Structure 1
């Protein structure tokens, strides 16, 4: 990227333009008094966005020991900015103010971050964002392992390859907002390109394009390709390519913004309450958790603002 995502997000720091865009959003969503709601929320939107940016900029200048806390609070603020583009009355009840997820209170001996799990709660910010922004309502009580979550982020592929000698993603070609499914890609799943494409259409928001031949099938999204919600694909931000997990078991059930929220929640809880384990990891670099976590934090600092910007471009 020639300029930082934060520079692009500066365009949304004008309450005048944000008020007009929010009003248009609320009208399309059939809210009464769209004009009044947009005026009430334009300042909140800008403040959430700016507060999130400050957390991220501070994280970039801080030691890794406290970065998870700053990034978690940062992504929470950015998601709230996204929320009020869809839900002008947020927060309408106190039940949406909690984090909406929980982690193990005490870490067991021989604890490894990649094997840890996090549980999704019925109420709270996480579930509210999942429902309002992504129309996902079936995540309650699900447990997600950190390893599985990390495997849904394309930039982590190199780390898994180095440490586990396993490729978790294969790149796919994107042409005019259409994804090319080749026979080589499909063979990883022991399917034909046509059957793999049909499998993705059945489970995700894609349809078969009319353009295809014996060895190639094209998928098109219900809307133009949106990076913030392109599951099970993931954009590798550094390479500018889209990747598909090499196993159906690791196909994501949630957009990547939610994956980052879960990872950063757990890391922030560890950095706050598991101080001994956390500093053992950071100072002794004694196991594989160290490179996975440090690499992830670097990705999160760049990827989350990019995904938020993409959401706002498609929404406002």
Structure 2
């Protein structure tokens, strides 16, 4: 009887802890949209866009800012409405709402950097493609998505992050989900492996200890040099046998800290634990790719989709549902971070 009573108390504590986490997540999400509300003023946005365009030495910065201030606000509001509806809708249609939501939010970010967007019709397409027909014994984690030469995705990659990706690039869902720090406990529970190691951050510097470098079979000094070669926006400020210190040549931003991943729940930075997981894709673009594929599945693979949602038949179910909960709060956070650093 005593053990049963103690077990009940322990379970009660766990439920209360989970309720507290859920409440904290809801509060964080509400605060993000509340902060973005400040950018719903066309008057304020116009002034900020004009300053931004003048810093880019663009002709007619004033006229462009007037043309784009309402577009910016409308993209932002439209994206927010999709996310709010996703939070209130069944899981079955959430991928579509979240994908259209992230597309609108990225367009708001785009016109900060590219005031002529869309200059041509070639940037209006999604810019990615997925397998049209799912094979027998299909598993979402093994599915792949392919980058196309033209479209919104490639335009965002080039304009917002100054990257050039090949149109032959393919990414598996397992690889993409493995780039998101908040998904690590799901991978560990179901696959008994961890994809990340936590990295200490002091102001704008990231500390790489010897223990972390050994995961890549390198010394701390050599591993830091390797990261600097692969990601030129990092410089090695200090290197020794025991640790190396990396500094971002630009202010370290949450929306673009590859190959590191920012964990929104604990505010810490994480690094993938193997070379084949070191990506150049900023995480917000990873969300775009995953949500595109999920939205296509929910629209065109209805039988498989409902088998998954109603039958919980394999590991795809907890991975997908956990991912969508993360996406609802992390994507707006990235967008807010980008806007606040750009305007």
- TM-score bucket (shorter structure): over 0.9
Pick one of 209, 212, 221 that aligns with 1:182. 209
Kept in 1, the 8 Å contact 2:86–2:94? The answer is: yes
Count, aligned residues: 315
Offset, 1:255: 0.2
Partner secondary structure for residue 208 of structure 2: strand
Question: Is 2:66 aligned against 1:33?
Answer: no
Question: Is 2:231 aligned against 1:206?
Answer: no
> Which string of whole-angstrom CA distances, capped at 9 and with x for unpartnered residues, describes residues 222-261 of structure 1?
1111011100000011111100000110111210011000
2:332 counterpart residue number: 305
1:294 counterpart residue number: 321
Pick one of 154, 163, 168 that aligns with 1:141. 168
Kept in 1, the 8 Å contact 2:255–2:335? The answer is: yes
Instruction: Give the 5 Å matches for 1:1-316.
Output: 3=28, 4-204=31-231, 205-209=233-237, 211-316=238-343
Offset, 1:14: 1.1
> Which string of whole-angstrom CA distances, capped at 9 and with x for unpartnered residues, describes residues 161-205 of structure 1?
011100100000000110001011111111111111111111112
Greater per-residue helix proportion? 2
Kept in 1, the 8 Å contact 2:181–2:270? The answer is: yes
> Which string of whole-angstrom CA distances, capped at 9 and with x for unpartnered residues, describes residues 74-132 of structure 1?
00000000000000000010110000001111000000000000111111000000000
* CA distance in 2 between partners of 1:125 and 1:265 (Å): 12
* CA distance in 1 between partners of 2:228 and 2:109 (Å): 27
Offset, 1:213: 4.3
> Which string of whole-angstrom CA distances, capped at 9 and with x for unpartnered residues, describes residues 146-167 of structure 1?
0000010000100000111001
* CA distance in 2 between partners of 1:17 and 1:75 (Å): 23
Q: Which runs of 5+ in 1 are unaligned?
A: none
Which is worse superposed, 170-179 or 1-10? 1-10
Offset, 1:62: 0.6
Question: Normalising by the residue count of structure 2, what TM-score does the alignment of the two structures yield?
Answer: 0.90
Structure 2 CA distance for partners of 1:98 and 1:308, relative to 1, 3 Å: same
Partner secondary structure for residue 238 of structure 1: coil
Q: Which runs of 5+ in 2 are unaligned?
A: 1-23
Which is worse superposed, 153-162 or 24-33? 24-33
Taking only aligned residues, the RMSD between alpha carbons, in angstroms, comes to: 1.0
Partner secondary structure for residue 231 of structure 1: coil
The higher radius of gyration belongs to 2
Offset, 1:138: 2.3
